[in-house]
Structure 1
Amino acid sequence: MKFRKLPIADLLEISPTRHGDERGYFAEVFRQEAFDREAGATDFVQENESLSARVGTIRGLHFQTDPHAQGKLVRCTAGAIFDVAVDLRTGSPTYGQWAAVELSPTRGNLFWIPAGFAHGFCTLEPDTVVNYKVTSYYAPECDKGVRWDDPTIGIDWPSVADPDTLSAKDRVQPLLAELPVCFSMTDSCG
């Protein structure tokens, strides 16, 4: 299993080693001790899955605040996604900056996005399935977001990104400049 640090601190791309033969392959996709060594001690409490039928479907940018802030370990099990994390940690030298990883079953990779980041993705193929483990239970009162196309953040979305696919909630998310301080490099807001 290989761990690649992204340009924004604490974000990791994880690439499991595949052992293959004429039948296919075997891969150890997650190993707690290796993950904890690279990302810090982490407990996952919930696993979620979404299916997006259309190419260009945009989901996000979402996050949860304390006391239910979530870290996410994201994997694409069918299709492909352009997966994005935005640093929302006040005091971070990369506050408001984004990083992205293309996830697909062909690549077999995962993206670790700790608490303090907004998360979203755009599907690159039809019938895309995204599976992710989270470190805190879903709590509607802590569910927040930021606009997917905020010019201050400036995400370079794939050309297939289709704003018509946004949920009603994601169509009205605030701009980064309108967010209260929700995370810092040392603690989080409620």
Structure 2
Amino acid sequence: MEIRPLKIAGAWEITPKQFGDHRGVFLEWFKSSTFTAATGRTLDLAQANCSVSEAGSLRGIHFTDNPPGQAKYITCVKGAFLDVVVDLRVGSPTFGEWDAVVIDDVDRRAVFLAEGLGHAILSLEDGSTVMYLCSIEYSPHLDRDLDPFDPELAIDWPKTDRQGNPLTYELSAKDAAAPSLTTLRTDGLLPGFVAEESPNR
């Protein structure tokens, strides 16, 4: 398992080693000891989710009030997604910046993001399936949304699916009505940045 820090402190890309034979493939998509050695923290599991999406389905940008915050460990078990992490921590050196990883059923990468970071996924193939581990249970009163098309973020969303066909973005009504980064900051709804947070290694 290889763990690579993304450009935003608190986010990592995890690439597992795959072992295959005539029967199929085996891999470890999460291993606590390896994760802790690379990130310097643990992941307390409180909830595990599964989401199936048609091509063009865009979920996010979502984040949770911090504290308590919600850390997530995400992988794709079928199809492909663009997984996007956004730094929403006011005072962070990378505030407002984003990084992205393609997670799919070929390389079988995972993405981890710490509390205080925003998250979105865009499905690149019909029937794409993502599974993720969460550090706290879903609590609607803590859940926040951010406009994924906010020009201040300027996220470079793919225009085509894995086969090169044009994508039509599909959002939930809640995500389509999400406020901008500036509005969230003005309203005091963004998490703060703790300077002594450990940087990625």
TM-score, L = length of structure 1: 0.92
How much has 1:2 moved relative to structure 2?
0.4
Q: Distance in 1 between matches of 2:168 and 2:72?
A: 24
Amino acid at match of 1:107: D
Residue in 2 that maps onto 1:61? 61
Residue in 2 that maps onto 1:11? 11
Query: Where has structure 1 moved over 6 Å in runs of 4 or more?
Result: none
How much has 1:123 moved relative to structure 2?
0.6
Instruction: Give 5+ residue unaligned stretches, structure 1.
Output: none
Q: Within 5 Å, which residues of 2 pair with 1:175-190?
A: 175-179=180-184, 180-186=188-194
Paired residues, what number?
Answer: 185
- The answer (yes or no) to whether the contact 1:58–1:162 under 8 Å persists in 2 is no
Amino acid at match of 2:30: F
Residue in 2 that maps onto 1:162? 168
Instruction: Show CA shifts across 1:38-74 (max 9, x none).
Output: 221221110011111x211111100111344111101
Q: Secondary structure at the match of 1:183?
A: coil
Residue in 2 that maps onto 1:88? 88
Q: Within 5 Å, which residues of 2 pair with 1:20-169?
A: 20-39=20-39, 40-52=41-53, 54-160=54-160, 161-163=167-169, 165-169=170-174
Instruction: Give 5+ residue unaligned stretches, structure 2.
Output: 161-166, 196-201
- The answer (yes or no) to whether the contact 1:13–1:101 under 8 Å persists in 2 is yes
Amino acid at match of 1:167: S
Residue in 1 that maps onto 2:163? none
Give identity over the alignment, percent: 37
How much has 1:186 moved relative to structure 2?
1.8
- The answer (yes or no) to whether the contact 1:82–1:121 under 8 Å persists in 2 is yes
How much has 1:91 moved relative to structure 2?
1.2
Q: Secondary structure at the match of 2:174?
A: helix
Q: Distance in 2 between matches of 1:181 and 1:90?
A: 10
Q: Distance in 2 between matches of 1:81 and 1:183?
A: 26
Amino acid at match of 2:126: P
1:174 aligned onto 2:184: no
Instruction: Show CA shifts across 1:142-184 (max 9, x none).
Output: 0101001000001000004534x11010011110001125322
Q: Distance in 1 between matches of 2:66 and 2:12?
A: 22
- The answer (yes or no) to whether the contact 1:68–1:137 under 8 Å persists in 2 is no
TM-score, L = length of structure 2: 0.87
